[in-house]
Amino acid sequence: MLRCSAIVVTYNSAAAIGPCLEALTREDCDIIVVDNASQDDTVRRVEEFVAWHPVRLIANEQNRGFGTAVNQGVREAGGNVFLILNPDAIAEPGAVAALLRCIDATHAGTVGGALREDNGGPARGFAFRRVATLAPLLCEVLLLNQLWPGNPVNRRYRCLDADYSQQQQVEQPAGACLAVAREAWDSIGGFDEQFFPVWFEDVDLCKRLLDHGAKIFYCPAARFRHSGAHSVGQLSFRDQQVFWYSNMLRYARKHFSNGQILILRLAIIKGMLLRSVAALFGARQAPLAETIAAYWAVVRNVC
């Protein structure tokens, strides 16, 4: 019989964690919260919740990163299925049971839930994608996806034409809601903790699972409301850029050839130059000086 242990990693998640835990307590699963040294009231709110509900809290004294925190939770979990869930993902009634039925019926190593946006529609392009290869990463770093989001490479990579109402075999469900069978998890040793603090650890996990012959499915019956960008939105613009590109290259070093890694490095440098020019004309998410400094921090890191 399948038993689920839900693992929720928090970082300054006081505003989100309550509804997430409330929803999980209505599902049949164990709950483990791993806090990565939140500076807000997250730990206090979880402790208040623990007083009335069977929830276990692991409070780290420093931010150990998402992958490391999940691995911590798994080591304390008693279930044979691990549900990795972001604190801003709220399970709709029966969602966890639907994930377990899908794993049982398909003998999948991993199953992704149906992430729903605020309007109730599917998180198209995010709920599941293909495993990252060189071509879609080049389209992203060279601004092609920003200028032409519907280009064929991006459409295929993000599965934009998929039927999200159908259960189907996929390559990479979003790490925001990912159920992994213990046997599959143990076969690859869980998350690679070098992906710090976040990004590409879920892509790497799915790539290694596929390489080990595991099947991965998307389960539309397992619905979760998801607001998105909860923790990464708290990072500075510079840190967002440096961490994302650094972990992209870490992923490439694990799974790409030396020639492909060189091409990606050069493309990232060119992309930073293009973004710097665009920032001069107002296309930026932060003040100009901060934006340029962030892009050149990426270039220094790549070089």
Neighbours of 138 (CB within 10 A): 20
Is 203 inside a domain boundary?
yes
Enumerate residues 6+ apart whose C-beta is below 8 A from 232: 198, 199, 240
pLDDT per position as a tens digit, 212-266: 999 999 999 999 999 876 677 788 999 999 999 999 999 999 999 999 999 999 9
Number of structural domains found in the chain: 2
Same domain, 216 and 258: no
Q: Whole domain around residue 183: which residue ranges?
A: 4-127+164-230
- Where is pLDDT greater, at 118 or 167? 167
Same domain? For 180 and 255 the reply is no
Q: Alpha carbon of 287 to those of 26, 221, 239, 280: distances in Å?
A: 44, 43, 15, 10
Report the mean per-residue pLDDT for the chain. 96
Q: Are residues 72 and 172 in the same domain?
A: yes
Same domain flag for 187 and 270: no
Indicate yes or no: pTM above 0.75. yes
Residues 95, 169: one domain?
yes
- Give the residue from 178, 197, 230 where a domain finishes: 230
In CATH, what number is assigned to the domain containing residue 69?
A: 3.90.550.10
> 9 vs 62, 232, 241, CA distance in Å?
13, 13, 22
Neighbours of 26 (CB within 10 A): 13
CB atoms within 10 A of CB 108: 24
In a domain, 295, yes or no: yes
User: With 90 as the cut, is the pLDDT of residue 118 above it?
Assistant: no
Over 90: is that where the pLDDT of 303 sits? no
Angle between helices 258-280 and 237-255 (to 10 degrees): 160
Which positions ≥6 away from 88 have C-beta within 8 Å?
A: 13, 16, 20, 176, 226, 227, 228, 230
Per-residue pLDDT reduced to its tens digit, 123-138 = 999 999 999 999 999 9
Same-domain pairing of 29 and 87: yes
Domain for residue 135, yes or no? no
268-290 residue pLDDT tens: 999 999 999 999 998 898 999 99
Do residue 238 and residue 221 come from a single domain?
no
Query: What sign does the dihedral 97-77-188-136 (CA atoms) show?
Result: positive
Average pLDDT, stretch 184-205? 97
β strands within 28-131, DSSP E? 29-36, 55-60, 81-85, 89-91, 110-116, 128-129
Residue 229, pLDDT score: 64
Q: Report the phi/psi class of residue 282: left, alpha or beta, with left for phi > 0 and alpha for psi in -120 to 50.
A: left
Shared-domain flag, residues 169 and 296: no
Contacts of 39-48 spanning 24+ positions with Cβ under 8 A: 39/12, 40/12, 40/13, 40/14, 41/14, 42/10, 42/11, 42/12, 42/13, 42/14, 42/17, 44/14, 45/14, 45/17, 45/18, 46/10, 46/17, 46/21
pLDDT digits 0-9 by tens, 35-69: 999 999 999 999 999 989 999 999 999 999 999 99
Shared domain check, 296 and 181: no
Mean pLDDT of the region 93-100: 98
Query: Domain ends where: 230, 257, 277?
Result: 230
Q: What is the DSSP string of 147-179?
A: H-TT-HHHHHHTTTTS-TTS-EE-SEE-TTEEE
Asked whether residue 169 is domain-assigned, the answer is: yes
**Same domain flag for 118 and 261:** no
